[in-house]
């Protein structure tokens, strides 16, 4: 039995009824406000939320922003509600910037490939289509959750020529279909400019590199991590085996890591609200966020 908005949101994030780095960050900000309104222990609320999707720094940055605001305001519910609204307004403004800069990359008759279901990528493609450009998008199915089905529905209903492929066809399509660019979302961008995104992203990016196809990452800067460094910059979330194999096979183990790390050398550009940067420029943004400045980045 669920009790109240906080628990309901935690459950929705954990079970992926709310998913995608941007959506979970906004939901987490609202959940922190709900925790204060419901008189919960703010420290416990923060820990609970941080554990729901550990690979998404967007969520961590939103929770820490709310935690700082809540403690500074003596956990005043009105102040905390305003902070959640401020985060949402910031996220909307940042998204508009990503779309503005990103849609410059789409060319008429271009062919693009995307993996998983990034609302930053989709919003940009839809905006480019609405401004009159015609292009084609290949989208991977994205095992085991099938987020690619959401992607193709959104693109096709916006009048974009859309083709669904199985994940393992990505290299073949990149090799044979004259793809202009691979477009990806982000759960986290690290100090070193590495990308943490849906598992399979690194394989798609490596196929793109092998065939000279540029990879662009579409992300607001609140998905940049002040702390994510080294070879294993964030914990990679492992989800239940049943998502991969609903009926267990005796003697068979299942692994279900749901994110992976793409090194900066495989990324040509990161489309942020402040403009398109190179992975080596990620450090400065991460440092700004580490210093507590969570506001739209303007180049």
Does residue 186 interact with ligand RUB by CB under 6 A? Answer: yes
Tokens coding 143: 């095992």
- Residue 143's CB: how many other CB atoms inside 10 A? 16
| Residue 21 interacting with ligand RUB (CB under 6 A) | yes
Total binding residues for ligand RUB by CB under 6 A? 16
Asked if residues 244 and 254 have their Cβ atoms less than 8 Å apart, the reply is yes
Which 196-255 residues touch ligand RUB, going by CB under 6 A? 197-198
Backbone angles phi and psi of 48, in degrees to 5 = -60, -45
57 binds ligand RUB (CB under 6 A): no
**Which part of the chain contacts ligand RUB (CB under 6 A), choosing from 103-111, 114-122, 158-166, 278-286?**
114-122
- Sort strands 181-184 and 111-114 into parallel, antiparallel or unpaired: parallel
What radius of gyration do the chain's Cα atoms show?
19
The residue annotated as part of the active site, out of 78, 116, 178, 210, is 116
CA distances from 218 to 27, 31, 72, 183, 184 (A): 20, 25, 32, 7, 6
Q: Whose Cβ is closer to ligand RUB: residue 80's or residue 237's?
A: 237
Q: Is residue 116 a contact residue for ligand RUB (CB under 6 A)?
A: yes
Specify whether the CB–CB gap between 182 and 216 falls below 8 A: yes
The separation between CA 211 and the C-alpha centre of its own chain, rounded to angstroms, equals 25
DSSP 237: P
> Is there a contact between 25 and 59 (Cβ–Cβ < 8 Å)?
yes
Q: Residues 255, 238: contact at Cβ < 8 Å?
A: yes
3-state SS class at 260: strand
Q: Which is nearer to ligand RUB, 187 or 273 (CB)?
A: 187
CB of 141 or CB of 187, closer to ligand RUB: 187
Q: Does 19 bind ligand RUB (CB under 6 A)?
A: yes
Q: Which of residues 246-275 bind ligand RUB (CB under 6 A)?
A: 258
Return the residue nearest ligand RUB (CB atom).
185
Active-site residue flag, 187: yes
Closer residue to ligand RUB, CB minimum distance, 48 or 147: 147
Nearer to ligand RUB among residue 13 and residue 70 (C-beta): 13
Smallest distance from the beta carbon of 165 to ligand RUB, in angstroms? 17
Q: Which of 144, 226, 232, 218 is nearest to 187 (CA)?
A: 218
Q: Could you tell me which residues come within 8 angstroms of residue 69 by beta carbon, excluding any fewer than 6 positions away?
A: 79, 80, 83
Q: Per-residue x/- marks for ligand RUB, 129-168, CB under 6 A?
A: ------------------x---------------------
Catalytic residue among 8, 187, 210, 286: 187
DSSP designation for 235: P
**According to CB under 6 A, which one of 97, 102, 185, 200 is a site residue for ligand RUB?**
185
Residue 73: CB minimum distance to ligand RUB, A? 28
Identify residues 63-102 at the interface with ligand RUB (CB under 6 A): none
Is 103 a binding residue for ligand RUB by CB under 6 A? The answer is no
Chain positions contacting ligand RUB, by CB under 6 A: 19-22, 116-120, 147, 185-187, 197-198, 258
Q: Which residues are catalytic?
A: 116, 187
């Amino acid at each position: 039995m669920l009790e109240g908005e906080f628990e309901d949101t935690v459950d929705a994030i954990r079970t992926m009824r709310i998913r995608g780095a941007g959506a979970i960050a906004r939901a987490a900000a609202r959940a922190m406000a709900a925790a204060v309104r419901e008189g919960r222990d703010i420290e416990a609320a923060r820990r609970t939320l941080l554990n729901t999707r550990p690979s998404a720094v967007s969520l961590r940055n939103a929770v820490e922003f709310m935690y700082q605001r809540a403690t500074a305001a003596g956990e005043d519910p009105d102040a905390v509600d305003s902070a959640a609204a401020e985060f949402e307004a910031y996220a909307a403004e940042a998204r508009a910037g990503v779309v503005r800069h990103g849609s410059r990359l789409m060319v008429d008759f271009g062919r693009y490939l995307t993996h998983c279901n990034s609302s930053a990528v989709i919003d940009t493609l839809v905006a480019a289509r609405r401004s009159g450009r015609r292009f084609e998008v290949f989208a991977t199915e994205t095992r085991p959750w099938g987020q690619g089905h959401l992607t193709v529905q959104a693109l096709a209903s916006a009048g974009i020529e859309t083709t669904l492929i199985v994940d393992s066809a990505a290299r073949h399509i990149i090799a044979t279909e004259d793809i202009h660019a691979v477009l990806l979302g982000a759960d986290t961008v690290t100090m070193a400019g590495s990308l943490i995104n849906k598992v399979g992203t690194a394989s798609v990016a490596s196929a793109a590199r092998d065939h000279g196809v540029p990879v662009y990452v579409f992300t607001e800067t609140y998905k940049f991590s002040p702390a994510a460094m080294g070879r294993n910059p964030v914990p990679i979330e492992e989800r239940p085996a049943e998502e991969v194999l609903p009926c267990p096979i005796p003697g068979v183990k299942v692994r279900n890591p749901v994110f992976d790390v793409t090194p900066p050398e495989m990324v040509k550009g990161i489309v942020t609200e402040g403009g398109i940067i190179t992975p080596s420029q990620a450090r400065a943004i991460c440092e700004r966020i580490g210093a507590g400045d969570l506001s739209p980045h303007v180049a």
